[in-house]
């Protein structure tokens, strides 16, 4: 595809989830359709008439088998990434140049046993784990590393154990 052709394509509207567990670690999963050891955060498109907050919970349910989570924060802006040349015209029916996404930080309220990557008819992932938020950029495919660096910068302050996060408002109210 020519550079002009790429510019003619719109971005796909989507959402993404930075899902923290009770220890302040982040959920990552390995894509079935990507060669190598590339891990990513849950993400997906926004359906017509759907609000981004609804979409992120739906995407969690579809991709990891559970939406047992509460929203902690949403990104200050919409983030974008560009597909590399070898994927243009192949993914999303060739209709998009990349994604424009609203990201949400969420706290996982379930148990690890609630996570079921095969719950959806067409699973996207074959493995998952909890990692420190700072590990995300090095685990991602190269074209998403910049995006993941932005997410780390924006949501790093939330990467704390749930008990510490709950105690912080109480300490602030007591004047600590």
**Chain mean position to CA 47:** 17
Sequence-distant (6+) residues with CB within 8 A of 152 are: 133, 134, 136, 137
Contact 131, 25 (CB under 8 A): yes
Residue among 176, 133, 150 at smallest CA distance from 23: 133
90 vs 14, higher pLDDT = 14
Note the pLDDT of residue 169: 59
Question: Which domains are delineated in the chain?
Answer: 3-173 (3.90.79.10)
pLDDT digits (tens, 9 = 90+) for 75-124: 999 999 999 988 887 888 889 999 999 999 999 999 999 999 998 888 99
Position 143 confidence tier, pLDDT thresholds 50, 70, 90: very high
129 vs 175, higher pLDDT = 129
- Give phi and psi for 74, each to the nearest 5: -120, 155
């Amino acid at each position: 595809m020519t550079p002009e052709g790429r510019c003619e394509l719109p971005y796909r509207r989507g959402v993404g989830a930075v899902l923290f567990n009770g220890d302040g670690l982040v959920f990552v999963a390995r894509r079935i359709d990507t060669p190598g050891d590339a891990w990513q955060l849950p993400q997906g498109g926004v359906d017509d008439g759907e609000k981004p907050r609804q979409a992120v919970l739906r995407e969690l349910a579809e991709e990891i088998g559970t939406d047992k989570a509460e929203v902690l924060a949403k990104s200050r802006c919409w983030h974008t990434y560009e597909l590399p040349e070898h994927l243009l015209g192949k993914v999303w029916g060739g209709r998009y140049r990349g994604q424009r996404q609203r990201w949400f930080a969420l706290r996982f309220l379930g148990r690890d046993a609630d996570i079921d990557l095969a719950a959806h008819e067409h699973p996207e992932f074959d493995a998952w784990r909890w990692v420190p938020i700072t590990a995300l950029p090095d685990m991602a495919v190269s074209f998403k590393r910049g995006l993941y660096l932005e997410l780390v910068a924006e949501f790093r302050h939330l990467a704390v154990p749930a008990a510490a996060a709950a105690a912080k408002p109480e300490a602030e109210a007591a004047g600590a």
